[in-house]
Structure 1
């Protein structure tokens, strides 16, 4: 079942781009969090989206939020992607698609491409925004709008 506005983000763990275990409880309940699911490292729209989050990262931090990108790419792929584009935020590997299932992220284009969905959770871990669009850059604008309202 897909997470929706008002739901609490469940606890989970996943491998980050450095090969470390990331525990969601390290941020949930402590600060606002933007979880953005994207299809694949090093594709045009996904790279534009990641770089847009990078370019606005300080604003997210100033608003008390952390940004976390999630795709099914390997930790090695994420490490290279983060280094190449100087991404200052955490990338999580969801190779087994457990996180996509946990959040309820749908596939796009007749089920052929993993969906692009952004979730904004407040400091208590409650979902304030679910934004589903294959257009990457709009996700950053929508997430910032919600965070500014909560400030």
Structure 2
């Protein structure tokens, strides 16, 4: 059987220029730089590193170069919502709803994001700070079927409050 390679998409990845991305994230934490401006600057620097590292003949054969940018706070909050989707499905079986305040999300983002590892640690933080305590409270009978739970942050602590019972 003959294999046709003409319709193949090859994706190559590299960490070239990743230090510029990490530096930009760190700078953005301490300064109030415009996200779009920082992303443009990072992209220029990464492309310069590519030109310094690879020969022009190689780079000219590439159809597209995609520079991945660091995640921003709003994107991380969206990831929190996606990750909590599974937990919400489990809670729905008990007619329990879960809501996080902006302060709670901010705390989780702060604890669960590492520029070097991206959002990977966020899943562990959600398990440790949200899912595990909720499971314990349900097992101890502190949370009941039909409750609406509000998760808030006070300082570095998360609070779980039943604010209303859902209508039957």
Query: Which gives a bigger RCO, structure 1 or 2 (Cα 8 Å, sep 6+)?
Result: 1
Pick the structure with more helix per residue: 2
TM-score under structure 1 length normalisation: 0.28
- How high is the TM-score relative to the length of structure 2? 0.26
